[in-house]
Amino acid sequence: MSDSSQITFEYCKRTLIFNFDAGTSRGVLKTKEVFWIKAFYADQPERVGWGEAAPLIKLSVDDREDFEEILAKTLAEMSGKSFGNTELEVLNELKMTVPFELPSIRFALETAILDLLNGGKKKILGHDFFESRKTIPINGLIWMGDRDFMLQQINEKLAQGFDCIKMKIGAIDFQQELQLLDYIRSRFRKEQITLRVDANGAFAPEDALHKLEQLAEFDLHSIEQPIAAGNWDAMRQLCEATPLPIALDEELIGVSAKAKLLDTIQPQHIILKPTLLGGILETRDWIKLAEERKIGWWMTSALESNIGLNAITQLADSLEVTIPQGLGTGKLYENNLDSPLEIHQGQIRYSSNLQWQQPS
């Protein structure tokens, strides 16, 4: 890596447009604002590292009305600083200087600086994935919507060769959702197709266990965040009694007392979203604590453009993941950046034949 002194930072903003109305338990998404962070040396303006700050509405700690103002101020303060010459020096410096309350900005700066130090080639972490020697398994995501729309997505993902399907639930009638799961499971055994569901906190604590018992009949791999985040006692009781492995997702956001949360709730799995958790070091900390407690984990993107998705995928590569990750969101937008990221037969890969479109 080269000397990281005297880096200048700028940003540009883009409103990404979904290819469809993306239904979640928090409402329907039609657009997504992202901020692309540009890192460069004043005397070498042609060599550029890129990162992405993309707070998730109603969920990110830094989803705030003055976000762009705070971002501009932070980048002005960071310009001209020295961040060290190694990956660890850069990450530690940013952890000390960018507040925990600005997780997406910290992750964007981590990504931009590491990209710059690695030559401005969109290489962040790892080796094999970026060099097209390795693919990473991912789940096929089924978005909320009416029954026909969800069934259409299921058939598309199965036809595309996915062997891990993740279905968002909690938007339509629960019995219809069970019927959709039965549609898949009646055709494919769990050895053929892995099924995950994500409730995004949609279940009421008093009837969550009964719903988990019904879901368990379909040999599901796991359910993400069955009840709303913030009720550790109720979630702990659910994790103790559940017939179905539970994965915490929103529960982790904004939490600095990581060990306390894991020891209190004792989940079967956790879901890691670097944009929402505060970047690379924070994600690695969660993994270390989870593995010490024999808690499973996997990583997912959080509706970033291909800039952020590339960084998260390379982080997953550096951690030598083997189970399907939630990294299939690159095709969500009609105006995403063109990139070498491709999905084929349920795997994401970095194609050496494709070029990056430059952010603007």
**Tokens (6 digits) for 335:** 């105006």
Cα 54 from Cα 11, distance rounded (Å): 12
Catalytic one of 122, 123, 168, 211: 168
**194-198 β-sheet, strand order:** 140-142, 164-168, 194-198, 222-224, 246-248, 269-272, 296-299
Cα 113 from Cα 142, distance rounded (Å): 34
Supply φ then ψ for residue 287, to 5 degrees: -65, -45
- For residues 218 and 181, the answer to whether their CB atoms sit within 8 Å is yes
CA-nearest of 145, 100, 150 to 252 is: 100
* CA count, 13 A, side-chain hemisphere, 236: 11
Q: Any catalytic annotation for residue 273?
A: yes
User: Residue holding tokens 């769990």?
Assistant: 190
Cα 211 from Cα 93, distance rounded (Å): 45
Cα 196 from Cα 71, distance rounded (Å): 35
Catalytic one of 30, 273, 294, 331: 273
Catalytically active residues, by annotation:
168, 273
